[in-house]
Amino acid sequence: MRLHTIVLVSAAVVLAGCSSSPSDGDGGDGGDGGDGESGRTPPLSSSPSAGTDGKPRTVAAGLEVPWAVAFLPGGDALVTERDSARLVRVAPSGRTTTAGTVPGVQPQGEGGLLGVAVSPSYSTDHLIYLYYTAASDNRVVRATYDGRLGTPEPIVTGIPKGPNHNGGRLAFGPDKMLYIATGETGDGPLAQDRNSLGGKILRVTAGGEPAPGNPFGNRVWTYGHRNVQGLAWDGEGRLYATEFGQNRFDEINLIRKGGNYGWPEVEGDEDGGDGFTKPLLTWTTDEASPSGLAFADGSLWAAALRGERLWQVPLRNGKAGRPVARFEDDFGRLRAVSEAPDGSLWLTTSNRDGRGDPASDDDRVLRVPLG
């Protein structure tokens, strides 16, 4: 088994390395490699040395590029399909129904119907939030959903769009503010322009206005990002984000208010001088191309596209332990990962996105129990 470089900046852990390979920013094709260790892979657990094996099972199959998963209070999930613009409701039993088709979505390249989030006040307002690529921009809309999808209302518009690097993840934080992950659409300088919405993590109110306490008086929370597609908070309220690298390093970042994460001046753990925030950990681009991110059972879980595996990253006090690769090459490209109300993880495959090798039942939603 080959071993790859995995750099943990905060934990200062380095494993044996090999060279990186080019990536197109959304996972590319192929990507072989090791699991960051030799020998037997430990069982699923917040500690890589304890727990019981988690056997994934298919919850839903035959989907078309399922991009994001958000759970309703009753335990069913809303799943977006990037290219069809369908919003699909998936029950833990496997029952699948179409919640609606989102109007105005214009899929192109990595764009389409992307993120979904459920209002923290859903029991009273019945609101959901969607991120999608429209004719002239990427945008965030909100709509009622009570079994039927209401008419979407735009709340954030003017996010740059392009064939690649559209970001797209939505998540409500512990502060009940909406966080929006965007990409720089291949135009690197947008990431350093604090007046642009591209290459940023945005923080807004439920109505889309700049959230109170934002560092620059606008919607921008952090900047200097290439293409963020994963957001997750740990049990202490710390925010983490996945980041697609270009030719060398993919990243997980610990997100701090007002931080500049370096792109395009630096990539990964390069020394770019003062003012840039270094990543929590990095992978070579063939090992990861990380999209979705979740926190559960004491670990971060990052879904890898080109890497075709689920990375488990144990956390302690905001510092990363040794990453462990799960399900390497078992399911192909993995796009979304979310913690379900029962404590399991739900994963989506992304083998029908034009860069994978789909099986007859792809794309799928998988349930992974944690023990």
| Percent of the chain's residues with pLDDT above 90 | 81
**How confident is the model at residue 35, as a pLDDT?**
28
CATH code at 147? 2.120.10.30
**How confident is the model at residue 371, as a pLDDT?**
77
Is the residue at 183 inside a domain?
yes
Q: Per-residue pLDDT tens for 248-274?
A: 899 999 999 999 999 999 998 887 667
Is the residue at 170 inside a domain?
yes
DSSP annotation of 125 reads H
Look at the chain and report how many structural domains it folds into.
1
Residue 226: pLDDT over 60: yes
**How confident is the model at residue 29, as a pLDDT?**
32
Q: How does the average pLDDT of the chain come out, rounded?
A: 88
Yes or no: say if 191 and 140 are a contact pair by the CB < 8 Å rule: no
**How confident is the model at residue 42, as a pLDDT?**
53
Residue 321: pLDDT over 50: yes
Q: Which helix (H) or strand (E) holds 283?
A: strand 281-284
**How confident is the model at residue 43, as a pLDDT?**
57
* Alpha helices (H) along 302-368: none
At 31, the pLDDT band (50, 70, 90 cuts) reads very low
**How confident is the model at residue 3, as a pLDDT?**
32
Task: Give 140's strand partners.
Answer: 131, 156
Per the structure, the complete domain to which residue 68 belongs is given by 6-368
Residue 18: pLDDT over 50: no
35/123 Cα distance (integer angstroms):
42
* pLDDT, mean of residues 74-81: 97
> Which value, in Å, is the radius of gyration of the alpha carbons in the chain?
19
At 84, the pLDDT band (50, 70, 90 cuts) reads very high
53/228 Cα distance (integer angstroms):
30
* pLDDT, mean of residues 164-187: 98
Residue 283: pLDDT over 90: yes
Residue 177: pLDDT over 50: yes
49: left (phi over 0), alpha (psi -120 to 50) or beta: alpha
* pLDDT, mean of residues 282-291: 93
Yes or no: say if 368 and 347 are a contact pair by the CB < 8 Å rule: yes
6/16 Cα distance (integer angstroms):
8
Lowest mean pLDDT among 3-7, 60-64, 123-127, 310-314: 3-7
Pairing relation of β-strands 127-133 and 239-243? unpaired
**How confident is the model at residue 247, as a pLDDT?**
78
| Percent of the chain's residues with pLDDT above 70 | 85
Is the residue at 1 inside a domain?
no
Name the E strands within 28-152: 57-60, 66-71, 77-81, 86-90, 96-101, 113-118, 127-133, 138-144
Residue 20: pLDDT over 50: no
**How confident is the model at residue 44, as a pLDDT?**
58
128/122 Cα distance (integer angstroms):
8
113/262 Cα distance (integer angstroms):
28
Residue 336's Cβ-count burial label (10 Å; 0-12, 13-18, 19+) is buried
* Alpha helices (H) along the chain: 122-125
Residue 107: pLDDT over 90: yes
Collect all residues with Cβ–Cβ distance below 8 Å to 350 and sequence separation of at least 6: 27, 65, 66, 67, 291, 305, 332, 333, 334, 335, 356, 363
**How confident is the model at residue 52, as a pLDDT?**
35
Amino acid at 194: R
DSSP annotation of 129 reads E
Is the residue at 65 inside a domain?
yes
**How confident is the model at residue 40, as a pLDDT?**
38
* pLDDT, mean of residues 288-301: 97
Helix, strand, coil percentages for the chain (3-state, nearest 5): 0, 40, 60
Is the residue at 20 inside a domain?
yes
